Structure 1
């Protein structure tokens, strides 16, 4: 089975992030771990399969992350690896993010100021 990357999105910036996923043809699906009506701190959770048809999507996902961060200074991306390491991806290059995504368990996408 292909490995999935869980992405937690907050309200602000979520539309821009998902638009970039579409632009780079990165398929994703909404995930709901809780019963309907449960109040959560995050807006929604997406699942991205990191490899399709034997091809790694890590470079494309990295391009989305770096582009999304560059578009507004109030954006943050926090990546958690399978080894329980935490990285704040602001200032990282696409190449660096690509390497980290290969071992990523989940990411949190935050925009601190409204659109």
Structure 2
């Protein structure tokens, strides 16, 4: 991760709805190149870029993630925090989501539709 990266976002999102929401709100991100020797079942990994105004960025990201979670049943967002702990993001706790995003190293967005799509290929 680069020093200007807020956190890494791993996507299992077959419809690319997270990326669309980031683009719609002008959240800056960059795609990470695939450098693994083995095939891993992820759509893509991106780095969310920090800004001069992190409070507004976090506020926008909270609304994006809540909107994404509410978009379909059984979607999950899992975060690895700087202290090494793993937590799930709850769409009903925006204060908790804010805390998590301020302390996240990596967030994984998982839409169960992903399993269906790769199973049908």
Q: Same fold (TM over 0.5)?
A: yes
Question: Residue 4 of structure 1 aligns with which residue?
Answer: 6
Structure 1 position 21, deviation (Å): 0.5
Report the RMSD for the aligned CA atoms in angstroms. Answer: 2.0
When you count helix as a share of all residues, which structure comes out higher? 2
Which whole-Å CA distance do the structure 2 matches of 1:33 and 1:4 have between them?
A: 20
**1:29-81 CA-partner distances (Å, limit 9, x unpaired):** 1002515x7411212100002x31x2011111111111100010121100110
| Counterpart contact for 1:9–1:43, Cα < 8 Å | yes
* Deviating more after overlay: 4-13 vs 103-112: 4-13
Question: Residue 78 of structure 1 aligns with which residue?
Answer: 78
When you count strand as a share of all residues, which structure comes out higher? 1
Question: Residue 66 of structure 1 aligns with which residue?
Answer: 66
Which whole-Å CA distance do the structure 2 matches of 1:12 and 1:74 have between them?
A: 14
* Deviating more after overlay: 98-107 vs 25-34: 25-34
| Counterpart contact for 1:12–1:112, Cα < 8 Å | no
Residue ranges of structure 1 left out of the alignment (5+ in a row): none
Residue ranges of structure 2 left out of the alignment (5+ in a row): none
TM-score between the two structures when normalised by the length of structure 2: 0.80
| Counterpart contact for 1:66–1:93, Cα < 8 Å | no
Which whole-Å CA distance do the structure 1 matches of 2:75 and 2:112 have between them?
A: 6
TM-score between the two structures when normalised by the length of structure 1: 0.84
